[in-house]
Amino acid sequence: MQTNTLLLGRKQSSVYRDFQNKQIEIEACSRSPIYFLTNYAWIQNKNTGQRVKWEAWDYLLQLLEDFSLHKELVILKARQIGLSWLVVGYCLWRALFGENVEILFISQGKDEASEMVRKARYIWENLPDFLRISLESDQKSFITFTINHSGLKALPSTAKAGRSSDATIVVRDELAQHENAKGSLTALGPTIDSGGQLIDISTIDKLDPTNHFTDRVNKAFSGQSNAQFRFFGWRCRPVREEGLTLNQWFEQKIKKKYSPFEIEQEYPETLEDALKISGAQAFFSEQALNNMLLDCCEPLEMGGAFDTFNGIIKIYKLPVPGARYCIFTDPSDGVVDPHASIVIDWQTGEQVAESHGKVPVELCAEIHDKLVRFYNKSFNSYEVNAGTGGTFADVLKNLGTPNIAPRRKPEGEIVANKLGLYTTEAHKKKLFEGLEEAVRNRRIRVHNQEAIGEFRKMIRPEGEPMPRVVKNTHDDYVMAWAGVWYTRKFMPDRETAKVITLHYKQVW
């Protein structure tokens, strides 16, 4: 009897000690996400599918510290650096050890957002019993806990995603791919303003510099928003594959698998690599464009000597008697796109003037005529595509604009009795390639930095035959420069120019 009593006492003491130890662990976990994840988080290795212990790499620990200090973070990252598991682990920790905590995972689609919930569920399923509080609801897109009324929910990115919610934390994952990213930020504004936390994470979209995530990055990086900015390149993760150094892994697993453009976008090493237009797809030589910046200058102050239409026209050099000039205009209706007119010295390729801005097409044509006459009746042309081009041509006809170049086919053959340049894809390709060669060989001198900035956004996407500017940007400067350089190629001698002008006056 005494022996049984002793055994029971020891067993009770053991159970009590075990209970006490668990309570101590629960308390330690509740105080620190680092302690919780380091000691109890198991994750799934994406490459092998195996269960592995979460590793407390230095940059992840620093980010956990950031989560506790800042209400708004913008994180630009390379792929496969373990960031998703960290964010999910942090959010699960908040949901497990807080009361009425609501976590929202917003991604480009519901399946992508639900993947974040799946990861949270995986960590929860692999917790020891004393930490794995019971679930009230367990669905693909959300889980909620019974005791503390906290939960994690997945939402697709819509303009109203998160509106009217009292979210504790909102994670917008792979934000660069969200179609309604800007709208969702507006919808989430009251939640964040009232104390919620917003974590924006993504790789960059190099083909869309006006992307909402890129805008968030630029503002956070420059201090123009309340968000803290963090960048994590592919080297921040200290171990990629057992038995391989980082360099070996990159050479064997990344460089052999991905194109140069994909590497620049998905696996940037530095912040500069992540933000610059892809060198793998850039159409114009970056070195040449950098050198061309040395030629940029302010336009002349014309005063009352020449009407610049409130700065729409910029004069860099006055016409020289006897000098010959070329002009090309990419017209517009002044509603969506701006027009661009470029005037160059025929011999030197130097820009002497331009016109750029959103004005009605009729005024655009008047400006073209004004520049033609001001610069010694320049040899000139314009894009005649669509209704805008037709209206532009009609105004020039009424004005009697001199020295308009005859229309040509892509191969250079003159189209009888036609003026202006009708640009098919084949013709545009030839124009752009001619300009690329001129830029690379420094045969043109551009005085406007804005135009060079537009050149930087010109890309040649893999698998596409035509170069183009990146999404949501204009190509008016590029088109005008390509057109004027092409027009220059066919500059007639003075006597031929007189005959051409006389002929087309008769045609009109």
The DSSP secondary structure of 98-135, one letter per residue, reads SSS-EEEEEESSHHHHHHHHHHHHHHHHTS-TTT-PPE
CB distance 331 to 383 below 8 Å: yes
Give every CB contact of residue 425 below 8 A, 6+ residues apart in sequence.
Answer: 465, 466
Question: Pairing relation of β-strands 51-53 and 42-44?
Answer: antiparallel
Provide the residue-wise pLDDT of the chain in tens; the chain has 508 residues: 555 554 445 556 677 778 888 999 999 999 999 999 999 999 998 767 789 999 999 999 999 999 999 999 999 999 999 999 999 999 999 999 999 999 999 998 888 889 999 999 999 999 999 999 889 988 999 999 988 999 999 998 887 766 656 899 999 999 999 988 888 888 888 878 888 999 999 999 887 777 899 999 999 999 999 999 999 999 999 988 888 999 999 999 999 998 888 898 899 999 988 988 776 688 999 899 999 999 999 999 998 889 999 999 999 999 999 999 999 999 999 998 999 999 999 999 999 999 999 999 999 999 999 999 999 999 999 999 989 999 999 999 999 999 999 999 988 899 999 999 999 988 999 999 999 999 999 999 999 999 999 998 888 877 778 888 887 788 999 999 999 999 999 998 766 555 555 444 544 4
Please name which of 283, 253, 275 lies closest in space to residue 452, comparing C-alpha atoms.
Answer: 283
* Two tokens, residue 266: 């998905």
Q: For residues 284 and 189, what is the distance between their CA atoms, to the nearest angstrom?
A: 40
Contacts of 376 (CB under 8 A, 6+ apart): 319, 321, 322, 323, 324, 325
Which pLDDT does position 406 carry in this prediction? Answer: 94
Q: Would you call 229 helix, strand, or coil by DSSP?
A: strand
Do residues 380 and 328 touch, judged by C-beta distance below 8 A?
yes
Q: Which residues pair with 43 in a beta bridge?
A: 52
Please name the amino acid found at residue 160.
Answer: K
pLDDT score, position 162: 64
Single-letter residue type at 237: R
| φ, ψ (nearest 5 deg) of residue 452 | -65, -35
Q: What pLDDT score was predicted for residue 504?
A: 47
Cβ contact 363:336 at 8 Å: no
| Ramachandran area for residue 100 (φ above 0: left; ψ -120 to 50: alpha; else beta) | left
Q: What is the DSSP letter of 404?
A: B
Looking at residue 507, its pLDDT comes to: 47
